[in-house]
């Protein structure tokens, strides 16, 4: 398949949290579809390996060890992308942490606040950094990873659930603000995938995690979790021209027939489908 036939042919994509797990899976999928990649994570060795794998899949990829909660790092990520590729077409905000486990009354508030700094403020900072360039070039795609806690409360995961619900409302708000610039902003719910993010749940003390959630995580860890490949394929679709016009929506890799959404985009955009307004 030639570059021009690939879904992301020569699009420049920044992917945060790309050193492992879902971010790394998305990076590999983007590489196979022709994207040029700026891969970001805090751990240098992990992000270098992710970039190496992306190059093996045929991509032009650079590794940027950085912390999205540090404003100077965020500026450096975008500056390096512009220096090398002259533009940023896609931002995938995947970096995130689980945060403190256990009932809120016993949570360490600094750890709670750190969850907000990574999952919400760091995500927003990355959006802020890429938007001026996307506005100048007349378009772009932003994909914010969301997840559990959006549609229902999750006991013993108050920080994580609150942060991911905030991501949805931020996604909807930003989408309205930048739509006139042909910048499409959506949230992606990957489903519960077996990654290292869930490891603290397995090792938590008795009572620190809601029993139902703990049982679900254990099923996931035993091979019954959601498909990483499916979540990565949804990210490719949201980054591609095929999803143009869809904005301010939360699309689930596991609950939505997302491969059939293309022809329905005008219908979706004239309704409250896939938004918090519809949920509530």
85 is catalytic: no
Measure Cα distances from 32 to 37, 55, 198 in Å.
11, 9, 27
CA 163 to each of CA 50, 87, 146, 171, 233: distance values in angstroms, whole numbers, following the listed order: 26, 29, 9, 12, 24
Terminal Cα distance for the chain, rounded: 44
Can you say whether residue 147 is alpha, beta or left, with left for phi > 0 and alpha for psi between -120 and 50 degrees? left
- DSSP three-state, residue 176: helix
Active site residue 164: yes
CA gap 175, 269 in Å, rounded: 12
Residue 103's closest CA among 10, 202, 178, 207? 207
- Non-local CB neighbours of 152 within 8 Å, separated by 6+ positions: none
Q: Which of 6, 11, 154, 160 is catalytic?
A: 160
Q: Is 222 designated active site?
A: no
* CA–CA–CA angle 77, 176, 245 (5° rounding): 85
The total number of residues shown for the chain amounts to 280
Please tell me whether residue 15 adopts helix, strand or coil conformation: strand
* Among 11, 141, 146, 158, the one annotated catalytic: 146
**Residue of 6, 11, 164, 214 with catalytic role:** 164
CB 182 within 8 A of CB 175: no
List CB contacts of 196: < 8 A, sequence separation 6 or more. Answer: 20, 21
Separation of alpha carbons 251 and 227, rounded Å: 15
Please give the positions annotated as active site: 146, 160, 164
């Amino acid at each position: 398949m030639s570059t021009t036939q690939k879904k992301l042919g020569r699009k420049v994509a920044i992917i945060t949290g790309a050193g492992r797990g879902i971010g790394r899976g998305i990076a590999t999928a983007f590489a196979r579809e022709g994207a040029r990649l700026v891969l970001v994570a805090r751990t240098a060795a992990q992000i270098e390996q992710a970039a190496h794998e992306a190059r093996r899949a045929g991509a032009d990829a650079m590794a940027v060890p950085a912390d999205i909660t540090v404003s100077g790092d965020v500026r450096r990520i975008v500056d390096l992308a512009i220096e090398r590729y002259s533009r940023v077409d896609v931002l995938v905000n995947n970096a995130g942490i689980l945060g403190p486990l256990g009932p809120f009354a016993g949570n360490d508030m600094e750890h709670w606040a750190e969850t907000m700094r990574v999952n919400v403020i760091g995500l927003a900072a990355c959006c802020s950094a890429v938007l001026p360039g996307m506005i100048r070039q007349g378009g772009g795609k932003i994909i914010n990873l969301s997840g559990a806690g959006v549609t229902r409360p999750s006991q013993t995961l108050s920080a994580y659930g609150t942060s991911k619900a905030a991501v949805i409302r931020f996604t909807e708000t930003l989408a309205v603000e930048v739509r006139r610039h042909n910048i499409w902003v959506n949230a992606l719910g990957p489903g519960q995938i077996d990654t290292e993010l869930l490891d603290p749940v397995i090792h938590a003390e008795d009572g620190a995690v809601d029993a139902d959630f703990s049982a679900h995580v254990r099923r996931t860890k035993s091979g019954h979790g959601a498909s990483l490949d499916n979540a990565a394929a949804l990210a490719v679709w949201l980054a591609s021209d095929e999803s143009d016009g869809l904005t301010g929506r939360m699309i689930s890799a596991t609950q939505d027939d997302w491969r059939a959404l293309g022809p329905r985009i005008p219908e979706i955009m004239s309704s409250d489908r896939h938004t918090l307004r519809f949920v509530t």
